Structure 1
Amino acid sequence: MGHTAIAEIQFSDYIYPAFDQIVNEAAKIRYRSGGQFNVGGLTIRTPSMAVGHGGLYHSQSPEGFFLAASGLKVVIPRSPIQAKGLLLASIRDPNPVIFMEPKILYRSSVEQVPVSDYTLPLSKIETLIPGSDLTLLSYGTPLYTCETALSLLSSPPPELDNEKMIPKGVRSAKVELIDLRTILPWDMEGVIESVNRTGRLVIVHEAGKMGGVGAEIAAEVQKRCFLRLEAPVKRVCGWDTPVGLQYEKFYIPDAVRVVDALVETLKF
């Protein structure tokens, strides 16, 4: 009818009953109509990722299920400023967009968001910390875990402050931290450019490793940067199990797991 469609699914853990309509109808309607219809520029907002105490049904990260749905876009912001700019860009995009908002950041991420209208580009990475020795790639909540890990790497606490755990040469490494922002279609050119410069890649996300975003990125990087890589691509992910309620903190990648991955990759 010409209106802009903005839906909300609370939470992304319960998006599956709509999976057929999203993947078989919304994602394909522009293609099958020869560009005549665009499902009203449909944007689906849905809280995602772990909440800290959500367990099996309230802490899932289902973005990987949509990677093969040609015609969809999937966006995951890390902060309020990013959320507004990326959401407005998603709403104005003629393609159907699944906009996944990290649950725990609703209560823990605070910024002064401009009241004026603005958009941020979709399918474009943002470099948060420039570097030359390793590319650390993530999106959503784990970006803050990555920032903590980089602090531990450069200035380890007493329990990690020994040459065996974090060699001094590793502590001075310049790590480039990148926010992927758009999961599908992801900014392949931007990621490849970074990895070609640094020669190393560590990918961090809360979703399980099998069939995840990290698997797709790792495959493309291995293909396109093979002769420039100084170490295998490393993935730090959730475990391939349901998210256990009592053990949720052990499921989510923490700063120590990220530090271990950085040290292993830098020492390789």
Structure 2
Amino acid sequence: MASTIDLRRADERYRTRAGWLDSKHSFSFSRHWDPANTHFGLLLVSNDDTVAPGTGFDTHPHRDMEIITWVLDGGLVHQDSEGHNGVIYPGLAQRMSAGSGILHSEKNDSWTLTGEPAHRDPVHFIQMWTIPDTAGIAPGYEQLDINDQLARGGWTTLASGMGKHANQRAIGIRQKHAALHVARLRPDETLELATAPFVHLYTARGEAAVEGAGLLHQGDALRITAAEGQRVTAGPEGAELLQWEMTATLD
């Protein structure tokens, strides 16, 4: 199969604005429905969310989904029906396995001991969903600070269910055909994308030029089939990139 590259610009995404929330959706989500844009590979959701201080997503259910949250700015307070709670911050990888069913909330509303809001600024994060390879598993949660790995440069595996990453320091997902990598590129630094049947590249910050695709700005994404390890070079201000490596698709 010949390699193909589908460039999706930031301003082409669906957008939900609700006063407290500014959410940009890479795929069909909520009231935004397009039968031609429901997923890529095994990735069903890639939302770029900004949540105002003192607000957030109230308790709601999920089932049979691997949900990964990556914070870019601020702190996101997580609580779920399995007793997990804490603040997700930049560089802390977090995965919630909804499995047979879980309730959770995500808010920008932690408070100090004096009753004052601890989070006075918006929280900006990317949330990504992929299906598990086994339905009905027990709900689960995992988090891991990977700031030290990111500081060393190159791609850092953030989450993976692939056997080849079993010895790497990363959070696990129950999907043996998918892995998520992150990189904070210095200005003009060059890396290679994965060689895989399906690669989804998201420009979380900055700009980056990708071989065969041209310049990507913040919020732009690439959907690559039969990826051949294309080179990606950060712009003059650097870049933060999220790369899904996938060996299967829902099609």
> Which has the greater radius of gyration?
1
More strand by share: 2
TM-score, normalising length from structure 2?
Answer: 0.30
More helix by share: 1
